[in-house]
């Protein structure tokens, strides 16, 4: 995963870090403690709708979720093949994914 970040108001710089390392980094752990959840749940809670069958959509969705989860302290996130493999192995489990059925509300 590649990302851009800025420390102490200095010029932004590019950084390469595996998604798994990012997920368990101090930055994500702090945000998950504030949200009182696990790092995986923090990322999953910020996912936009996407198609699990499309690698490009998965990459874009998780990149967006990473940026949002850490309140945009990083940006320009790009996932690579290793990141996608980790996501599919560890986060695309049936117990993590649930369908929410929407019911139409009756007009009063």
pLDDT digits (tens, 9 = 90+) for 65-82: 999 999 998 888 999 999
Phi, psi of 4 (to 5 degrees): -115, 140
| DSSP H helices in the chain | 19-23, 26-34, 39-45, 55-69, 81-86
pLDDT of residue 6: 61
pLDDT of residue 35: 93
Phi, psi of 77 (to 5 degrees): -75, 135
Count the alpha carbons within 13 Å of 22 in the hemisphere toward its beta carbon.
28
CB 48 within 8 Å of CB 61: yes
Count the alpha carbons within 13 Å of 41 in the hemisphere toward its beta carbon.
8
């Amino acid at each position: 995963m590649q990302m851009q970040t800025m420390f102490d108001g200095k010029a932004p710089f590019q950084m390469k870090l595996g998604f798994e390392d990012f997920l368990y980094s101090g930055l994500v752990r702090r945000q998950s403690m504030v949200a009182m959840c696990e790092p995986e749940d923090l990322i999953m809670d910020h996912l936009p709708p996407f198609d699990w069958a499309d690698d490009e959509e998965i990459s874009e969705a998780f990149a967006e979720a990473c940026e949002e989860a850490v309140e945009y302290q990083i940006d320009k996130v790009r996932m690579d093949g290793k990141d996608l493999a980790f996501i599919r192995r560890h986060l695309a489990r049936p117990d993590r994914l649930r369908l929410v059925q929407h019911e139409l509300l009756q007009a009063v």
